Amino acid sequence: MPIALLALAAAAFAIGTSEFVVMGLLPEVATDLGVTLAQAGLLVTGYALGVVVGAPVFAVATARLPRKATLIGLATLFVLGNLLCALAPTYALLMAARVVTALAHGTFFGIGSVVAAGLVAPNKRAQAIALMFTGLTLANVLGVPLGRIIGEHYGWRMSFAAIVVMALAAVASLVMLLPRQIAMQRGNILREFSVLADGRVLLALATSALVSASLFVVFTYIAPLLTQVSGFSSNAVAPVLLVLGVGLTIGSTVGGRLGDRRLVPSTLMVLGLNALVLALLHFVLPVGALTVAVLLVWAALSFALVPLLQTLIVRHAASAPNLASTLNQGAFNLGNASGAWIGSGMLAAGAPLADLPWVGAVITLGALALAAWSSRLGERRGIAQPA
């Protein structure tokens, strides 16, 4: 594996930490800015919507630009956004800063995946992309708990300041380690949008959105769930987040292996299990030890779906390689936004925190129905599953 992949992984680590860290800091942000917990949760929605809007716009705008310069520019925009987050004096300005930060997210991962694959031999492309996305996984294992600890002791603004330092290091590594000339795949990216006429592609994107919504309707409010429902102290939130990160890492690895064997059956199986575990979470939340165990399983199942759905969308959108991964990033973040918004609406309406896993289970069942529909559509077109 070329050392340039480490630069992409470092940037992925900084971006992933920035996206998810606010969920561990939600009570502190709400208190400091004088807003409700439900309003603070909308900061997750704002970021995700920024990704949804920015991904296709930046993909088109940068289609003919050199890949290295584009990645450095996107990472620099990310640095600026996080600096604005650290300095934002009001809730409205923090929301705006989160949106600015998010604009670079989807396109960076979309272009970065293509660049990572192009840096290695064809038989190592999956490994190269996996290595880049290791940074995103490590963000959940290390970055988010570390951000929680910094925010708890020095204030939530210092968490974003720390991310600025990480992001500057990532920009420097991109400048030094990426090759000057990176081959570009020529084509008309606007024409590639015609892939959306394929029903299987639309169903796969909708499934990704629902899976992410089911995750974020709970994950957004994980800190208050742990402290107000499960009875954990504030100091215990960071270690539990570390456990969640371990589950996410296990799930991503297992999901990749399942996808190489039987993609569609594995996707349907994991979706069904995920719905059951979310329903179980509602009942075990008052019991601390059981809560941590179930959260570990839930995190593993949730992130096992990421490589499965990514593989599914790339397969269905094989005629649009420059666009497929970017669109799926947008779909995942549309789900992030929807899940956080649904949770915010429930809490604003007076629903108890413990009811959020029920909603996640229902959304997951919807994703299961869409995945089954997509599978039947593929069978009608005579598409056989590879061994």
* Averaged pLDDT for residues 172-186: 81
Structure tokens at 327: 């669109």
Higher pLDDT, 373 or 384: 373
pTM exceeds 0.85, yes or no: no
pLDDT digits (tens, 9 = 90+) for 134-160: 788 788 778 888 898 999 889 999 999
Neighbours of 99 (CB within 10 A): 20
Domain ranges of the chain: 1-179, 195-387
Q: Which homologous superfamily does the CATH classification assign to the domain defined by 195-387? A: MFS general substrate transporter like domains (1.20.1250.20)
**159-195 CB burial, b ≥16 within 10 A, e <16:** bbbbbbebbbebbebbeeebeeebebeeeebeebeeb
Domain 1-179 has CATH 3.30.450.40: no
Out of 115-119, 294-298, 324-328, 367-371, pick the least confident: 324-328
CA neighbor of 237 nearest in space, from 279, 295, 283, 278:
295
Predicted pLDDT at 387:
38
- Across 40-44, 126-130, 293-297, the highest mean pLDDT is recorded for 293-297
pLDDT digits (tens, 9 = 90+) for 207-234: 999 999 999 899 888 889 999 999 898 8
Residue 384 pLDDT class (50, 70, 90 cuts): very low
Predicted pLDDT at 187:
56
Residue 95 pLDDT class (50, 70, 90 cuts): very high
pLDDT digits (tens, 9 = 90+) for 50-78: 888 887 788 778 877 888 999 999 999 99
* Averaged pLDDT for residues 181-191: 64
CATH topology agreement for domains 1-179 and 195-387: yes
The angle formed by the CA atoms of residues 80, 182 and 201, to the nearest 5 degrees, is: 80
